[in-house]
Homo-oligomer: A and B are copies of this chain.
Amino acid sequence: MLAYDALVVGTGAVSVQPPIDGLTGSGALGPRDGVHLLHSMGDTFAVMETLEGTSPASAIIVGAGYIGLEMAEAFVARGLSVTQIEQLPEVLPTVDPELGRLIHSQLVEHGVDVLCRTAVTRISEAPARSTGRLQVDGVGPDGELTRFADIVLVVVGVRPDTSLAVDAGAAIGAKGALAVDRHMRTNLADVFAAGDCVATYHRLLGETYLPLGTTAHKQGRVAGENALGGDREFAGSLGTQVVKIFDTVAARTGLRDHEAIAAGFDPVTIAHEADDHKAYYPGSHRISMRYTGDRRTGRLLGVQLFGHRHAEVAKRIDIAAVALFHEMTIDAISDLDLSYTPPLGSPWDAVQAGAQTWTRETAT
């Protein structure tokens, strides 16, 4: 037993294990069979062992979120032929399908076989002389389907790992995560919690569950400082996220339409495209944008971007994230003094051009 003055719980999250035949229950397939969940360091080592020990020629990835997409790229880079299966209508369902389609194309361009609207029902050992050691059965828009591969990854998200704190009496918040205040205090005396195991304060949504590394770092810092007698508040998440897929990058911050409606806003989302820098200077790329703002107040609610990995998409979403943090209107984004040189931008940066389009298209 260890005594403490203050305790910080950082038990994180565990992989969601979807109810797929062959994945759960007795006799379930696992890492030794080439069937993997992927969240922890241990999971990673197990995947590496399968890759190095069995030299798989093909992979099926169940799930097309951040981890699923990154693994598709990694497997293609290793020379595997990859099938990606997503239950929802489009890949990367955390962005609007208009951008998801662009990511989908990027996957297809790199040889990934992408199946959307497809639910996996069963994973099993393949019959002898199949084109892979494992068999995946599912139901897609055209009915039942079967695919074979040598390795199967199931990456459909995570859920908070709260048993330690809950057993001690900790209260639960959004999505079963530990309830904390903005000082990262649980309801238990002298017990703080942070990271993937807690319900996160979102500046636009209030309490939500949004396990992200950036948030975990911030919350850990707040919890640690307060555990030592400090008085710091977690400023809140905006759900800022980014992922690189082959030569492209998708990013978002803030809310999409359905989230904004749920939060009581009156959102309008418009699409815009702009060059990352002056097209007369070699090497320019188009950036696809989606701007969401509140119709009544003109307040910026969210931005989604997609573009080439050298189009500074990640830091452009961060410009929007800082604007969101300060509750700017979309119109005021044009007041920002952003940098310009022809090889890297425009006198009105792409993020300002998108904002101006929103203002123009929503004017009545």
Q: Is A36 located at the chain interface by the 8 A CB criterion? A: no
Q: Is A111 located at the chain interface by the 8 A CB criterion? A: no
* B-facing residues in A197-234 (Cβ within 8 Å): 203, 212-218, 221
Q: CA separation between A325 and B338, bound complex, in Å?
A: 10
Q: Is A310 located at the chain interface by the 8 A CB criterion? A: yes
Known: A315-B315, A344-B314. Contact between A215 and B337, CB under 8 A?
A: yes
Q: CA separation between A59 and B249, bound complex, in Å?
A: 40
From A89-97, A102-110, A137-145, A235-243, the one touching the partner chain is A235-243
Query: B339 touching A325 by the CB < 8 A rule?
Result: no
Q: A348 contacts which of B217, B236, B318, B336 (Cβ < 8 Å)?
A: B217
* B-facing residues in A300-314 (Cβ within 8 Å): 309-310, 312, 314
Query: B344 touching A249 by the CB < 8 A rule?
Result: yes
Query: B213 touching A347 by the CB < 8 A rule?
Result: yes
Question: What B residues does A256 contact at CB under 8 A?
Answer: none
A interface size (C-beta, 8 A) = 52
Query: B318 touching A338 by the CB < 8 A rule?
Result: yes
Known: A251-B339, A337-B239, A339-B321. Contact between A345 and B314, CB under 8 A?
A: yes
Q: CA separation between A312 and B349, bound complex, in Å?
A: 14
Q: Is A343 located at the chain interface by the 8 A CB criterion? A: yes
Q: Is A193 located at the chain interface by the 8 A CB criterion? A: no
Interface centre among A213, A216, A341 (most CB of B within 10 A): A341
Query: A323 touching B321 by the CB < 8 A rule?
Result: no
Query: A343 touching B244 by the CB < 8 A rule?
Result: yes
Known: A323-B322, A326-B326, A349-B318. Contact between A340 and B218, CB under 8 A?
A: no
| Subset of 29 A-B contacts with CB under 8 Å | A66-B341, A203-B337, A214-B338, A214-B339, A214-B340, A214-B348, A215-B337, A217-B347, A217-B348, A218-B337, A239-B337, A240-B338, A242-B344, A243-B341, A251-B339, A253-B339, A312-B312, A312-B315, A315-B318, A315-B339, A316-B318, A318-B319, A318-B336, A318-B339, A318-B349, A319-B319, A322-B326, A325-B335, A326-B326
A→B interface (CB under 8 Å)? 66, 203, 212-218, 221, 235-244, 249, 251, 253, 309-310, 312, 314-319, 321-323, 325-326, 332, 334-341, 343-345, 347-349
